[in-house]
């Protein structure tokens, strides 16, 4: 006859395996639906200029964002560290369709920084 402690031990092992399987499966689904591998970003820096309206240096970067995947990115949000006082990133569409490109100029008050692109299942950081 099997004792109560053996039954409980087997039950705990079975529940642990089930919990690990559920976590692994949800991570696999999140990776499968991720767009990060399908977002390509290139940029070109312009020479520094002085912005008299802000009273600081203005570093301008031209960004090109390509969605090379087969799915659209909805809820697209783009932000930059140390933005210029007059709006570092222009107003952009909220959707980046599949196989499409967005290009824009961003202004920042420091030479180096980070551009953050986010949306559904998308989070990309670009150090420039």
Q: What is the dihedral of CA 90, 93, 94, 96, to 10 degrees?
A: -120
Q: Which two tokens stand for residue 10?
A: 């087997």
Q: What is the pLDDT of residue 121?
A: 76
Rounded Cα distance, 78 and 41, in Å:
12
**42 or 53, greater pLDDT:** 42
Average per-residue pLDDT for the chain: 87
Q: How confident is the model at residue 27 (pLDDT cuts 50, 70, 90)?
A: confident
Q: What is the pLDDT of residue 31?
A: 66
Element (DSSP H or E) covering residue 75: none
For the segment 85-103, the average pLDDT, to the nearest whole number, is 88
For the segment 71-76, the average pLDDT, to the nearest whole number, is 87
Q: What is the pLDDT of residue 33?
A: 60
Q: How confident is the model at residue 37 (pLDDT cuts 50, 70, 90)?
A: low
Rounded Cα distance, 63 and 89, in Å:
10
Q: What is the pLDDT of residue 110?
A: 87
Say whether pLDDT at 57 is over 80.
yes
Q: What is the pLDDT of residue 123?
A: 86
H-type helices in the chain, by residue range? 4-32
Spatial CB neighbours of 7, under 8 Å, sequence gap ≥ 6: none
The candidate with the shortest Cα–Cα distance to 122, out of 67, 50, 49, is: 67
Rounded Cα distance, 123 and 112, in Å:
20
Say whether pLDDT at 2 is over 70.
yes
For the segment 10-14, the average pLDDT, to the nearest whole number, is 93
**pTM for the full predicted model:** 0.67
């Amino acid at each position: 006859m099997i004792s109560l402690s053996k039954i409980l031990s087997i039950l705990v092992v079975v529940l642990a395996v089930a919990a690990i399987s559920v976590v692994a499966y949800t991570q696999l689904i999140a990776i499968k639906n991720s767009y990060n591998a399908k977002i390509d970003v290139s940029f070109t820096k312009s020479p520094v200029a002085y912005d008299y309206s802000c009273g600081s240096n203005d570093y301008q970067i031209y960004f090109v964002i390509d969605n090379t995947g087969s799915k659209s990115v909805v809820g697209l949000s783009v932000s930059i560290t140390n933005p210029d006082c007059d709006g570092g990133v222009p107003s952009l569409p909220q959707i980046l369709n599949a196989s499409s490109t967005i290009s824009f100029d961003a202004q920042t008050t420091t030479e180096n920084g980070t551009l953050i692109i986010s949306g559904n299942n998308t989070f990309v950081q670009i150090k420039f």
